[in-house]
Structure 1
Amino acid sequence: METIVQRGYVYAAMPASKEVETYLRQCFGAARKLYNLHVAHLYDYLEKNDYQPGERLPSMKKMQMPSVSTFKKQCVDEHGFPYLYLVDAFASNEAKQHFQKAISAFNKIAYKKQFKKSALQRQKTLRTELTFRDLQGMPRFHSKKGSKASYTTFNQNGTISIREGVLYLPTAQKSPMNEVALTLNMHRPLPKGSSIKNVTVSVNAQGKFYVSLCVAFPKEIALIKQPKQILGIDYSQSHFFVDSEGKKANYPQYYRQAEERLANEQRLLSRRVKGSNRWEKQRLVVARLQTKVANQRKDWLHKKSYALARRYDMVVVEDIDLRSLSQNKRYAKNQQDNGFGTFRLYLQYKLEDRGRRFVKAPKQFPSTQLCSCCGCKNTLLKGDVGIRYWKCPSCEVAHDRDINAAFNLKQYGERHLHESHISA
């Protein structure tokens, strides 16, 4: 069956000239400026209306948020010219969409009334008073130094095109730029019949530019109706995951390998005079190390998910709350290093591209506590991760904690498959 799919392709890019690089950085700044104006208006509204922790944030209509055009007219240079009209309009409009997403994300956890750990520590040491700004998930100002520099523009009637390895982006009507061109390092071609939907331009800590192309193209996908090879995957802190066949992924832990060298380089950076030539040179050394670790992790995740997607017809994983794990000081570093959430995304789209199935077991499914032989539930395992091996009190079968959980996930996938066939 032929269907239209959307995929992202990331390429290294080089601005055609210094003027193009300056224009792109102006687009980054415009996106950041518009987002910060929305956040400032939100804070003013909350202060005037005596916001209390636990309450949901109001809608943009209720807080009378000014339009993007109004914000643009307010931002003028020393000559009174509204400089935000000199950049791509989508750079400003996307900032509003990102702000709306931030409000929606906060409202889902507003009832928890959780404050950031840094704010709690500051209250403990400096006796400062906590405010709504210290709540976890509250939209906050984007820093020019700390935030990721990027902006997204959309293709409208062919305003974005690629010709002979050069990407052409739209400009603003009032901009002196005639065209925005970036030379792409196209290490792999785009699929046949693909059309560009939108482009995200970003720059990393090393100052290297990248473009992410979201393209739509027709693809023939043959859906496997009766999966035969089914695999259950249980998340593991030490091995990344353990599957229902008893195999362990054995993630190489790239950050742990580079941790000592990275600490030494960061120590050297802290001793440099900030802003000096030596400081900038050492900053690039640290950035290169961090980029290398990120690329190694991404490469490993792609290869592992590709191998599983080729071999199995259906893969079942648990919908584990990775955010809560990252709040635990014992598991945070491992969890953030291995990238299990990214791995699930990679595995899902690679399976779907081949007409295979990806199933997420719900959070309430007790994969660890159930005996895979008789189904007896052992509640003693709940919250006690120190028990790695246990014997079922009902059938007295000895279990490895991770392998048993993975096998339960596989059985959940088989039941899910059977129920879906009955309903169909």
Structure 2
Amino acid sequence: MKVRYTFRCYPTDTQAQELSRVFGHTRFTWNWALRLRTDAWANGERINYNQSSAALTALKKTPEHQWLNEVSCVPLQQSLRNLQTAFGNFFAGRAKYPRFKSKRDRQSAEYTTSAFKYTNSVLSLAKIGKLKVRWSRSFTSQPTTVTISKTGAGRYYVSLVLDETPQTFAKTGESIGVDLGINRLATLSNGERIANLRFTRKYETKLAKAQKSLSRKTKGSGRWNRQRIKVAKVHEKLSNARVDHLNKVTTDIVRRFDVIAVEDLNVRGLVRNRKLAKHISDASFGRFVSMLDYKCVWRGKALVKIDRFFPSSKRCWCCGYVAQAMPLTVRNWQCPDCKREHDRDENAAKNIWNFAVGLTV
């Protein structure tokens, strides 16, 4: 099974300069190939990876593009392969049309086995040398690809792809239904409630102050660039805190339950609600479910996705009565048939669990 592990790395000043050159060459290759393929498509032609690779080889031989030979050729070829994948996803309807890359976005370069060496926790990249990496976990297999990246906040990360068999969690014989929400991040069918820590609200004052200071500076100046990095650091801290919380919550759920049932939410449709879009994005429903998905595969558990049109909130989990309407303002309701009092989210979680284990038809 292919797994990806990411670690923080600390290049020297010389290595940082060389990496900046690699990022620039890789970004140029992507943008050049994207323009080449876009212009060809406009003229009724199609250019694939092999043709763009041959064109890149010819480009390197021209006097005005000799500088492309200053760095390892592997990241440039991988950039073409990644562009081919991006076009494949676009034509399959899984993604939008590939975009041009900017030097102010996240920078990355991918190396294959011919351009890096990993031995005894020492990682060395072609024309870069040995990198200082903070290894936070151990692994036995050799990495197949290495991606080094630089975030907008100026931090460097190394991402390794390995072929490993993750350790499975012990079977508990338990199953659970999970209802996602804004007031509470998740409500479980056993009555357990997981708080929504609302990280955007926690950092929004600090972020607003940093962005206000950025807006008062001349774009492109040294002070503007230093303030831009400060804003990026706040964004990165917010994102890291959210991901850390989601990782802890999902790992705990996967560890305790063998079968986990969730709704297959249309998150893209939900965020069209301009009153709730900010809170839905902050809760990260899509990432929560995707984390449960791959962790269940890794750990030998099962994830069941319930149809998004299943009336989990409007249906009484005791007698099956379905209410005609259930606005979001209604957090508690009483079933007219069995007179049972329901918490909206807990009732939905129980309905999701009942449907997953076959108690609901």
TM bucket normalised to smaller: 0.7 to 0.9
What residue in structure 1 maps to residue 160 of structure 2?
A: 213
Q: Which of 96, 103, 124 does residue 144 from structure 1 map onto?
A: 103
In structure 2, give the amino acid aligned to 1:64.
Answer: I
Do residues 15 (structure 1) and 3 (structure 2) align? no
1:152-301 alignment runs, 5 A limit: 152-156=110-114, 159-163=116-120, 165-169=121-125, 171=126, 177=127, 180-186=129-135, 188-191=136-139, 193-219=140-166, 221=168, 224=171, 228-301=173-246
CA deviation map 1:270-317 (0-9, x unaligned) = 112233333233223222222221221122112212222222222211
1:102-117 alignment runs, 5 A limit: 102-107=86-91
Q: Decide whether the 8 Å contact of 1:351 with 1:358 is kept in 2.
A: yes
In structure 2, give the amino acid aligned to 1:142.
Answer: K
Q: Which of 280, 304, 307 does residue 359 from structure 1 map onto?
A: 304
In structure 2, give the amino acid aligned to 1:39.
Answer: L
TM-score after normalising by structure 2: 0.86
State the Cα distance separating 1:398 from its structure 2 match.
4.2
Q: Which of 38, 46, 54 does residue 63 from structure 1 map onto?
A: 46
Q: Which of 26, 31, 34 does residue 29 from structure 2 map onto?
A: 34
State the Cα distance separating 1:194 from its structure 2 match.
2.4
Matches of 1:358 and 1:386, distance apart in 2: 30
> What is the percent sequence identity of the aligned residues?
28
Matches of 1:73 and 1:377, distance apart in 2: 67
Q: Once superposed, what is the RMSD of the aligned Cα atoms?
A: 3.0
Q: Which of 336, 341, 344 does residue 401 from structure 1 map onto?
A: 344
Q: Decide whether the 8 Å contact of 1:37 with 1:71 is kept in 2.
A: no
State the Cα distance separating 1:196 from its structure 2 match.
1.2
In structure 2, give the amino acid aligned to 1:215.
Answer: L
CA shift in 2, pair 1:362/1:108, >3 Å: farther
Q: Decide whether the 8 Å contact of 2:23 with 2:107 is kept in 1.
A: yes
In structure 2, give the amino acid aligned to 1:347.
Answer: L
What residue in structure 1 maps to residue 71 of structure 2?
A: 87
Do residues 323 (structure 1) and 268 (structure 2) align? yes
Q: Unpaired segments of 5 or more residues in structure 2? A: none
State the Cα distance separating 1:390 from its structure 2 match.
4.2
Q: Decide whether the 8 Å contact of 1:72 with 1:84 is kept in 2.
A: no
What residue in structure 1 maps to residue 318 of structure 2?
A: 373
CA shift in 2, pair 1:42/1:80, >3 Å: closer
CA shift in 2, pair 1:32/1:364, >3 Å: farther
Matches of 2:242 and 2:31, distance apart in 1: 32
